[in-house]
Amino acid sequence: MTISVAAIYENGVLRPRQPLELAEGTEVRLTISAPADRAADAEVERALSARIDRLAALEPNWDGYGAPALDRHILFAAKQFIGWLATYTTAQPLAVPMSSGALQLEWHQGQKILQLEFEDPMTIHYLKWDPATGTEEEDVFPIGDTAKAASLIDWFTGVAANV
Amino acid sequence: MSEPARGPQVPASEALRRAITSLDWWVAAEDRVSSAAFAFPVFSVDVASLATPEQTLGRFKAGCGLVQFNSGAARQLGFDARQELDARFPENSAHANVYCDLPKNERKRRAQQLVSLATILRAPTLSAPP
């Protein structure tokens, strides 16, 4: 089993930034890659937060089809998520408003697509899409399940995560 | 309370057009529309044989994009177009609602399949937000 997680080094101990599904006392082998690029992390978070602030200002009927303004509770939850996201990846998504009042993060690379829709403040509805490999996967998970979010981002960015 | 009866089904041979009214729905790097424009239980289109692209775009702000897809192919994916008036534009006799009655956990996948079917008639030229 191989997993890839972000971790922070504090007081002589490496602390994972997400829960690990390991039994207490399990011994693992660590391979440490380059330290996280704090400047890049901050830039991802700043750019996404600014974009969400702009989307928060959209007025009702922003799409010309009668859409409501975006749900402020969803935007708040998305911003919290982005705080984690920026520490995990520098692959910057698009932040896309939905006519339902929800918000979606989208990553595109050719035909390969990852969508994370914050359909309510507690739930992410995702789509993994890659015609080249026949991948069409859609489901929901709790917004606090960063391990699931990390596995989806790893799939998109190509990081090995053969759990 | 039961749902109101739906309008007549749009023939499978018809083309349907949807305006891309937000630059946020346009993936500029890939030059394509995002499925965010279609991932809903119901969304508006115009029947192509009943309105020119200019008539459709004329109801929206300048610079919107326009995409087109076949009604029959969309129906095979689960998108059922029904000719119904739009309360916001009652004079638009070309209007149809496209219903997606699939379970919620299939809508994104189907919307992405619909994007694959769609032809871009006009790329949006809306100004990028500051």
Predicted ipTM of the assembly: 0.86
**Residue in A62, A66, A99 nearest the CB of B88:** A66
pTM (predicted TM-score): 0.82
Mean pLDDT of B11-35: 93
Mean pLDDT confidence for B113-129: 89
Report CB contact under 8 Å: A106, B34.
yes
Three-state SS for chain B is CCCCCCCCECCCCCEEEEEECCHHHEECCCCEECHHHCCCCEEEEEEHHHCCHHHHHCCCCCCCEEEEEEHHHHHHHCEEEEECCECCECCCCCEEEEEECCCHHHHHHHHHHHHHHCEEEECCCCCCCC
> Which is nearest to A135 in space by CA: A155, A151, A121, A118?
A155
- What DSSP state is assigned to residue A108? E
Q: Residue A158: is it exposed, middle or buried by C-beta count within 10 angstroms (0-12/13-18/19+)? A: exposed
pLDDT of residue A37: 61
User: Which residues of A are less than 8 Å from B39 in CB distance?
Assistant: 98, 117
Average pLDDT over residues A42-59: 90
Angle, alpha carbons B64-B67-B72 (nearest 5°) = 150
Question: Is the per-residue pLDDT at B3 higher than 80?
Answer: no
A31 to chain B nearest CA, in Å?
34
Percent of chain A with pLDDT over 70: 85
Signed CA dihedral, B126, A114, B118, B9: sign only? negative
pLDDT of res. A124: 97
Chain B residues inside the 8 Å CB shell of A62: 22
Question: Residue A38 pLDDT > 90, yes or no?
Answer: no
Length of chain B: 130
- Judge whether B106 is closer than 8 Å to chain A, CB to CB: yes
Q: Which residue did the predictor score with more confidence, B11 or A36?
A: B11
| Integer angstrom CA distances of residue A100 from A66, A135, A149, A156 | 10, 26, 22, 26
Q: Which residue in A138, A139, A140, A141 has the most chain B C-beta atoms within 10 A of its own C-beta, making it the best mutation to test that interface?
A: A138
